[in-house]
Chain A
Amino acid sequence: MNTNSLNRTDCPEVKVPFLIFFTVGMVSLAENSLVVLAVILNRNLHSPMYCFICSLAAFNTIASLTKTWENLMIVFADVGHLEKRGPSETKLDDMMDCLLCMSFVGSIFSFLAIAVDRYITIFHALRYHNIMTMQRTGGILVFIWTTCGVSAVLMVRFFDFKFIMICFVVFFIVSLGIICFLYVYMFLLARIHAKSIAALPPGGEGALTLTILFGAFVVCWAPFFTHLIIIMVCPLNPYCECYRSLFQLHVVLIMSHALIDPAIYAFRSAELRYTFRKMLLCLSRKLCC
């Protein structure tokens, strides 16, 4: 630790207890893997919308798994079982950072895909089945996963270059803008047409739902990205240092977004809830028998 009094910081790093990380990680892992399983098992859910939701849940699963594992390793390292700067640990750390980056970028891409899919469902409904075929969906998913994998490797490899971080932040801001625009546009036009059409848009996207959807995304992701911006812009400023000291809180926020994502996207569908019930019933029967 820094023993020099000049180096003492008035903003000590805020440490989040390991138990919180572990709980959030485990619950989010359980939820998201359940969603992935449900979509794969139920044939009715083999539609583009559910494929994107499944992809989002898969990315969240990877994120929560990796984060929980990383925290376990930190605990072991703190206790002394692991050497922090050993070659194998560094490689492992790099790999975990890769997976985390991949899942972050992937979940943002999945949100984009879900928003675009909903947009096409609403505004090009007749041509929806021609525009969004299962082959195209598969192609889009392959593209998303490949891009995420490649960009994650690049990001971790060349993390020293500021350019990579700038790209990351710009990507986040642009995606945020597109998602915001798509949802607000859908909402506005659906409201206008609700005057003449008494049918509600899918998922009952009223003001509250949309606020929750978008608000959760912004509240959970913006702090982390502001952190990245602050690292680039003002590494030595004491105010910025105080912001950076809350890093662990921001990571918990991202993990909790992986936790609430299924509630926002997946569990709103009756078909998916029905599949869950069936799965749990089958599981309990198997365990009882």
Chain B
Amino acid sequence: MSELHNRSQTSARRSDYVWQYEYYDDEEPVSFEGLKAHRYSIVIGFWVGLAVFVIFMFFVLTLLTKTGAPHQENPDAADKRHRPGSCLVDIEDQKDKSDKAFSRPLLTGTRSYFNFYVNEEGQAQRENNREDGGGSFKDRRGTRSSDVMEEEIEDAGTPHPLNGLIEESRMERERVFLSQYNIPNFVNLEHSSTLGEDDLVYEPSVVLERHSQTPCDTH
């Protein structure tokens, strides 16, 4: 009798197992006596920890964003001041930053293109290219969907045959270039396009155009 009773009890217990909770072991009782802390302390602790983690992550990211903002303001403000009529040196801002590794390849990469372009193109061509460049850059900036890092500049690289054309005036050009260099603008143009051969030749012209049009006092 007792055996039957036991069997029926265990079979009743087995049939009481819920569909998916196969690992709920009802045969081994869990005693709830003598609990020091609250029953749901693990649950509460877990959710509090999770909330703290997410909020912490958010604050860290926001803080990183905010520390970036003041640096961002200067080039933008300088930009607006530059365009109407004066050229200022923006290089100092870049030099103060820790990301020199990123700024240097930009300079070395673009310098050659500037110089190449200055030697090759005439004033009239620059005039013509300016309107085209303005419109197409807007398009390219819209379609370009990602930030491109220094790799793009390095990959675009220095076309060796072109370098040979500019050796003699290179130092002079560099001085002029650096004094008129406006990294945010140029990098915008540079990065906002898919770089092809014609683009690389094309883009410096717009920046150069802007600089040449505005009377520049080298400081």
Contacts and interface: CB of A to CB of B under 8 A. Distances in A.
Given A11-B40, A123-B151, A242-B43, A198 B188 contact: yes
B29 A191 contact: no
A9 B32 contact: yes
Contacts of A184: 61
Contacts of A231: 23
A188 interface: yes
Residue of A200, A238, A239 with highest tally of chain B CB at under 10 A: A239
Chain B CB within 10 A, most for which of A126, A195, A208: A195
Contact of B191 (A187, A197, A230): A197
Nearest to B16: A1
A193 B29 contact: no
A194 interface: yes
B147 interface: yes
A93 B19 contact: yes
A78 to B, nearest CB: 9
Interface in B1-28: 13-21, 23-26, 28
A195 B149 contact: no
A77 B19 contact: yes
A201 interface: yes
Contact of B26 (A7, A187, A226): A7
A264 interface: no
Interface stretch (A56-64, A106-114, A131-139, A214-222): A214-222
B187 interface: yes
* Nearest 7 pairs of A and B residues by beta carbon: A207-B61, A211-B58, A7-B29, A215-B54, A10-B32, A207-B62, A195-B71
Contacts of A84: 15, 17, 19
Interface string A1-24: 110101101110000000000000
B50 A219 contact: yes
Nearest to B14: A85
B42 interface: yes
Interface in A76-135: 77, 84-85, 93, 97, 121-127
9 contacts: A122-B147, A122-B149, A189-B149, A192-B68, A195-B72, A211-B61, A238-B30, A238-B32, A242-B43
Interface of B: 13-21, 23-26, 28-32, 35, 37, 39-43, 46, 50, 53-54, 57-58, 61-62, 64-65, 68, 71-72, 75-76, 94, 97, 99, 102-103, 106, 141, 144-149, 151-152, 155, 183-184, 187-188, 191-192, 195
Contacts of B40: 11, 242-243
A169 interface: no
Contact of A10 (B23, B39, B53, B76): B39
B39 A74 contact: no
Nearest to B28: A236
Contacts of B184: 196-198
A2 B9 CA distance: 10
A199 B16 contact: no
A276 interface: no
A210 interface: yes
B182 to A, nearest CB: 11
Contacts of B16: 1-2
Contacts of A196: 75, 94, 99, 102-103, 106, 183-184, 187
A206 B62 CA distance: 8
A246 interface: yes
A6 B31 contact: yes
Contacts of A223: 46
